[in-house]
């Protein structure tokens, strides 16, 4: 493969769940690093607003509606990305449902919805985009896991924690499968960060207690997660694959 092929691919990224929260910070960071970014989300209007903010002429940022629970949706987004720019070399599987629930009364519908969205998104994202990247001989995939998948969860439901644990395993599976073809697959496991979803999930009267339990004494800065994604997405990160990068303020040590 010519070096120019890798260079062109390395300038295109896809971020799922990019309309707000952590995804918007990740999309902003990749865009500031010079990537052309496809922002995908089930909320197309919100994704379009961010895309227009980043690139008013749509030359370096565009939005696409994307239900990450379904494989075909990844096939469609890949086709759109190729039609618009090129085969992407960076995929950030960020989209997820975060939901608190009582473990012993958790219903089947809620369990299936959270698992199918959170796990399907990573598995089929790695499968569909990973194959395209492997054909080109270069790629960087970053999966957003969670502290909940490592410690069994605290404020979130058992279905959410289970899904994030599965993401850690899927990351290892695809890292091993794709390593010899120039594609790295890594995960990031954030603890509680200063995001709307945290404040929506944790009751206001309990948030101070959650923060007090964090060894560093504060919520994480979501912009730093964008920095970590930027590092793992870089061309120099070829020797890092199958890893989980913990960003949790000292809540989980290993």
Catalytically active residues, by annotation: 160
Positive or negative, the CA dihedral 93, 99, 100, 103 is negative
Contact 160, 110 (CB under 8 A): no
Question: What's the start-to-end Cα distance of the chain, in Å?
Answer: 39
User: Cα(243)–Cα(246) distance, rounded to whole angstroms?
Assistant: 10
Cβ-proximal residues to 122 (8 Å cutoff; 6+ apart), any chain = 93, 143, 166, 167, 170, 171
Closest to 92 measured CA to CA, from 157, 24, 42, 152: 24
DSSP assigned state of 179:
G
Residue from 178, 185, 189, 203 nearest 140 by CA: 185
What count of residues does the chain have?
254
Task: Provide the β-strand partners of residue 143.
Answer: 93, 187
């Amino acid at each position: 493969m010519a070096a120019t092929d890798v260079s062109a691919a390395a300038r295109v990224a896809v971020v799922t769940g990019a309309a707000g929260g952590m995804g918007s910070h990740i999309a902003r960071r990749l865009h500031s690093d010079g990537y052309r970014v496809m922002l995908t989300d089930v909320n197309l209007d919100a994704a379009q607003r961010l895309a227009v903010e980043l690139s008013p002429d749509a030359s370096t940022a565009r939005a696409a509606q994307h239900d990450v629970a379904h494989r075909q949706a990844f096939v469609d987004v890949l086709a759109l990305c190729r039609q618009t720019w090129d085969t992407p070399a960076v995929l950030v599987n960020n989209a997820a449902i975060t939901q608190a629930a009582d473990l012993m009364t958790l219903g089947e519908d809620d369990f299936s919805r959270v698992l199918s969205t959170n796990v399907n998104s990573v598995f089929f994202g790695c499968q569909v985009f990973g194959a395209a990247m492997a054909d080109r001989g270069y790629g960087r995939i970053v999966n957003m896991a969670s502290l909940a998948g490592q410690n069994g969860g605290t404020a979130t439901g058992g279905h959410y924690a289970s899904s994030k644990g599965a993401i850690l395993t899927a990351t290892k599976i695809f890292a091993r499968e794709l390593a010899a073809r120039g594609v790295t697959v890594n995960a990031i496991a954030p603890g509680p960060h200063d995001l709307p979803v945290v404040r929506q999930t944790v009751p206001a009267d309990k948030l101070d207690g959650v923060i007090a339990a964090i060894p560093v004494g504060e919520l994480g800065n979501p912009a730093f997660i964008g920095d970590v994604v930027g590092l793992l997405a870089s061309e120099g990160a070829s020797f890092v694959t199958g890893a989980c990068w913990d960003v949790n303020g000292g809540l989980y040590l290993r």
